[in-house]
Amino acid sequence: MGPILSLILRRLALSGVILVLVSAVVFIGTEILPGDALDATIPADELIYYTEGDLDRMRTELGLNKPLLERFGIVLWNLVTFDFGVTILTQERVIDFIYHPLMNSLLMASVAVILTPLVSIALGIWAALKPGGRTDGIVSGATLFAYSMPDFVVGNVFIITFAIWLGLAPAVLMVAESAPWHAILAVSILPVAALTVSGVAYQFRLLRAGMVEALDSEFVERARLSGVPEWRLVVTHALPAALIPMLNGSAQFVAGIISGTVVIEAVFRFPGIGLELIRAIAQREVPTVQAITFCAAFAVILANLLADIGVLALDPRVRRKSHG
Amino acid sequence: MTLLNRRQFMAHVSAGATVFGLSHLLDPTKALAATPDMVEAMIDGQTPKQGGILTYGQTYPNWALGQSNKGQHPYFWLDLLTRSVWNALTWVDEEMNVQLELATSLTPNEDLTVWDCTIQEGVMFHDGTELTSADVIASMNFHKDAIGLIRQNVDRMEPMGKYGVRFFLVNANAEFPYALAEYRAMILKANEDLAQMGYDGIGSGPFKLIEIDNARQFRAERFDDYWMGAPYLDELRGVIAMGNAAINGFRAGQLNSVWNIDPGQIGQYEEVGGQIHASAAGDQFWLIMPKNLDFPWNDVRVRKAMSLAIDRPAINRIVYNDPDGWTGNDSHMTGVNKEFVARPVERDVDQAKALLAEAGYSDGVTLPAMVFCPSFPEEPRVYPIVSESLAEAGIKLEFQERPCDGFNPFVSAVNQPIGRPRRNLVGPRNPFINLGRASSRNAAEPGGWTGEASAKYDSLVLEAVGTPDDAKRTELYQEAQKILQDEVPGIMLGGRRNMVAHQANVKNARSHSQNWSSRFEYIWIDA
């Protein structure tokens, strides 16, 4: 087995372990602390409506009477096999509730995940060409400002500016939850743009720092002295090195996109998983909350794995380490 | 296909009205003045233009099945503004008089237990088939199968040829035509499988449904073969616009009207040229207090204290900016009902405290929390006023907000058949339907109100609806309301009006006290 393949397999195994740990955290957070799923669904002041018999029956139906480890085993197996069970109140399949919203959010987040590095790289290169110059100052200032803005503020500012003042995009997303992907995308310009803002600001800052450092490094200086044109220095020498810290920050970036999705969807009424999560929490539907939390964690782990592989491809030092 | 023009339609309707046979119910002078083609009456003096799209925001979430993403029946998105796609046999006008719609006559027998209905000939469904008595009977059976007033009123039906239906009622009912105007009494295309009725979205209304997502929106296009004449608009689109989405969509020009606006945003709509139309009443908030568990409000003195302590005028003043508006009288009657009896005392905190002390709560009382879902945008602002005014009398009552999706299964999941303490939404109706809701025959809403007064109340309401004499019936209804004020089985906050905001070029967009009685035939857009 080649050392690179071995490294990838190790990362895969690590991802699996993290997934189990995440499942454990989800299980503990939603089923054990401070009570079980039934306690989370029925607050103390409502216990008057239930007899002990009712509660026992419901616990049995939900499998909450089983030993802790057995329950965890069942929850873990169900989660990793994407069997999310049924809702507590209406006994309907959780997957039926979350499938379309999940796909819609995935679509929106995927566009943001693709778009964000592209914009960040373009801005990062532009700013790093003359560090400390006017362009660098403006772009750096603007991204710092954008980074400090909460997502709901960005979303509302976008609605006011682009929908209400300029009329360039819809303020209310008129699209069915089960609409085809192109119909969803067609009305998602503002939500995607709003979702991209903080990601761009974050990634730009990582990339810019990496670019400035790389352009100032000895190997670039040597290449410059040997007559390599400046654009080539930037694109083929400095950029790959600068991308590494950006890729290392991918897990945080993807996690940011996911949490941002919940907020942005609420602001724009985007038919996605964020609205579904808010509803499930308000309804105290623990199985739905578990399913969505698990899917979000899965997305972060997957993104992290892909970023690791990207770093492996770009950074010879990491490859060398895996050899030795 | 033969299509009636408006004039022919009016001739039929007027003829129907004259044989309506209930002069005590439907004052012929008033009926004939109001029945004339509602479209022509509305556009009188206007020069309507054909075309355009009305895109309206609806601030009221789909709740009919309790789960919008489960309530796939197209009917349930539209249940508030049903008459865009469907028609009923009758219609209640803005003054709350019943009118004929698909029915051309509606005649009771002497004891008001059997009603003969003839229906308009030549009415086409959106799929090009004719609406007949078979569709009426199938629709009524469909509605009987679900919840609602048809089930409570109609025992059975039989066809009388292709265009006639005989209704056999459970009890004598002088106000039966009102039940036929209900949002759960629309005429759908018949289907042998009742469970599948209506999923095709086919109606006989002015607009033909072409796309619907029950959790979010619908789209309907003009039905050229509409029996009242094609509507003016090319297309009708509706979108659930909660939170700031409604005002944002309106300001952006994406929505040219919004139904059930937040009264706190009237100024914002007007600022951008919006015009507001408010109806005389609207959906109201009725507090249900289950009395089948050991709660302090099982004692009538606590319930009366609550009613005396709530500052209803403050709700009108603060939430609705309507200081002179009517206030709830602890029945389902609203200010729009001429039989309405106001409570003798609007508010008396001292008397409320005295009643509490008499009931053994001189140090105050804590009541079980009530749940609500924010069906109307201003609703979360109403309950803090209720809680604070109750607190002045020493009554602690917390209101807990729950999502509207899942609200119905949530409230009925326990303590059946009454469920949790909560607020119910009630639309304004005729006296029998209104007062029937507090009757013990209606399992859920009275909250387990029993006893001598409850029995007397039931018999009074039943006697009233079977009484042909108008004055006598009113007298009985008023006596029944006084019983409710003495017993307070539930609490009506009152004062709310339905309101629509529309852009200035949208003509005749009118709010109706009964949301489901709003009409779209006469709305046009001045390009």
Residue B72's pLDDT is what? 61
From B285's Cα to the closest Cα of chain A, the distance in A is 22
CA angle, residues A79, A262, B75, in degrees to nearest 5:
90
Whether B403 sits inside 8 A of A171 (CB atoms) is: no
pLDDT tier, A231 (very low <50, low <70, confident <90, very high otherwise) = confident
Residue with structure tokens 């995927």?
Answer: A110
| Averaged pLDDT, A134-141 | 87
Of A172, A178, A285, Cβ closest to residue B249? A172
Q: Point out the residue among A89, A172, A178 whose CB comes nearest to the CB of B241.
A: A172
Higher-confidence position of B75 and A83: A83
| pLDDT, average across residues A156-166 | 93
Of 2.60.40.10, 1.10.260.40, 3.40.50.10680, 1.10.3720.10, which CATH number belongs to A95-323? Answer: 1.10.3720.10
Report the chain B residue with the minimal C-alpha distance to residue A160.
B248
By CA distance, what is B398's nearest residue in A? A45
B187 and B326 both lie in a single domain: no
The helix (H) or strand (E) run that includes residue A135 is helix A134-148
Beta-carbon separation of A283 and B368 below 8 A: no
Residue A146, pLDDT > 90, answer: no
Ramachandran angles phi, psi of B58, nearest 5°: -120, 120
The number of folded domains in chain B is 3
Which of chain B's residues have a Cβ under 8 Å away from the Cβ of A269? Answer: 216, 241-243, 245
* Positions of chain B with pLDDT lower than 50, given as ranges: 1-36, 65
**Do B56 and B154 share a structural domain?**
no
Same-domain pairing of B463 and B475:
yes
pLDDT of res. A158: 93
Give me Rg for the CA atoms of chain B. Answer: 23
The β-bridge partners of B221 are B208, B235
A283 close to B (CB below 8 A): yes
Q: What is the CATH number of the domain that holds B249?
A: 3.40.190.10
3-state secondary structure of B509: coil
Record: contact A49-B70, CB cut-off 8 A: no
Three-class SS of residue B343?
A: coil
- Selection from A241, A222, A242 nearest residue A127 by Cα: A242
Tokens linked to B303: 């319930």
Cβ–Cβ below 8 Å for B215 and A89: no
| Mode of pairing for the β-strands spanning B114-119 and B103-108 | antiparallel
For residues B101 and B117, membership in a common domain is answered with: yes
Within 10 angstroms of residue B450's Cβ, the number of other Cβ atoms is 12
Domain boundaries, position B482? 284-492
Kindly state whether residues B380 and B312 are assigned to the same domain.
yes
Pairing status of strand B365-366 against strand B395-396: parallel
Where among B151, B171, B199 does a domain terminate?
B199
Helices (H), B252-359: 266-271, 300-309, 312-318, 349-358
Interface probe with B: pick from A172, A173, A273, most Cβ of B within 10 Å: A172
Closest-CA distance, B212 to chain A, in angstroms, reads: 8
Residue numbers in B near A159 (CB within 8 A): 248, 252
Q: Residue B371: phi, psi to the nearest 5?
A: -105, 150
Rounded to whole angstroms, how far apart are CA atoms B488 and B302? Answer: 9
Q: Name residues 40-79 of chain A within 8 A of B (Cβ).
A: 45-46, 48-50
Instruction: Determine whether the interchain pair A170/B254 forms a contact, defined as Cβ–Cβ distance below 8 Å.
Output: yes
pLDDT in tens, B293-316: 999 999 999 999 999 999 999 999
Chain B interface includes A164 (CB < 8 A): yes
Q: Which of B174, B199, B224 represents a domain boundary (last residue)?
A: B199
B403: which chain A residues are within 8 Å (Cβ-Cβ)?
279, 282-283
Of residues B23 and A9, more confidence is placed in A9
Q: Taking Cα atoms as reference points, which of B259, B218, B244 lies closest to residue A266?
A: B244
Please check whether residues B324 and B378 belong to one and the same domain: yes
Chain A residue whose CA is closest to B401: A282
* A177 interfacial to chain B (CB closer than 8 Å): yes
Domain chopping of chain A, boundaries: 3-94, 95-323
| Beta strand B524-525 pairing with B506-507 | antiparallel
If asked whether residues B516 and B428 sit together in one domain, one would say: no
Same domain as B172, residue B25:
yes
Angstroms from A209 CA to nearest CA on chain B: 39
Per residue in A235-254, pLDDT (tens digit) is: 888 888 888 878 777 767 78
Taking an 8 Å cut-off on Cβ atoms, the answer to whether B293 and A170 are in contact is no
Q: What local confidence, expressed as pLDDT, does residue B165 receive?
A: 97
- The answer to whether B66 and B407 have CB atoms below 8 angstroms apart is yes
Q: Tell me how far apart the alpha carbons of residues A307 and A301 are, in angstroms, rounded to a whole number.
A: 10
Q: What is the CATH number of the domain that holds B364?
A: 3.10.105.10
Other Cβ atoms within 10 Å of A138 Cβ, number: 11
Q: Please answer yes or no on whether B242 and A269 come within 8 Å at the CB atom.
A: yes
Query: Using the beta-carbon criterion (under 8 Å), do A172 and B248 form an inter-chain contact?
Result: yes
For A55, which residue in chain B has the nearest alpha carbon?
B414
Contact across the interface for A89 and B242, Cβ inside 8 Å = no
Q: Which residues of B touch A285 (CB under 8 A)?
A: 406
For position A172, what pLDDT does the model report?
A: 87
Q: Closest Cα to residue B427, out of B33, B105, B82? A: B82
B386 with B480, same domain: the answer is yes
B-chain CB neighbours of A167 within 8 Å are 252-253
Interface touch B406/A170, C-beta < 8 Å: no
Q: B189 with B159, same domain?
A: yes
pLDDT band (50, 70, 90) for residue A41: low
- Cα-to-chain-centroid distance, residue B364: 36
Inter-chain touch B410–A164, beta carbons under 8 Å: no
A172-199 pLDDT per residue, tens: 888 888 899 999 999 889 999 998 888 8
C-alpha B333 chain-centroid distance: 12
Do B331 and B481 form a contact (C-beta atoms < 8 A)? yes
Candidates B307, B316, B346, B325; CA nearest to B491 is: B307
Cα–Cα distance for residue pair A191/A159, rounded to 1 Å: 9
Q: In the predicted model, is pLDDT for residue A38 greater than 80?
A: no
Q: Do A177 and B215 touch (CB under 8 A)?
A: yes
Whether A91 has its CB under 8 Å from any CB of chain B: the answer is: no
- Residue B151 and residue B297 in one domain: no
The shortest CB-CB distance from A269 to any of B245, B255, B406 is to: B245
Provide, as residue numbers in chain B, all residues whose Cβ is less than 8 Å from the Cβ of A172.
57, 239, 241, 245-246, 248-249, 252, 254-255
A158 interface with B at CB cutoff 8 Å: no
Do residues B393 and B435 both lie within one domain?
yes
CA distance B149 to chain A (A): 26
Tell me, what's the pLDDT at B147? 62
Asked if A49's CB is within 8 angstroms of B251's CB, the reply is no
pLDDT at B329: 97
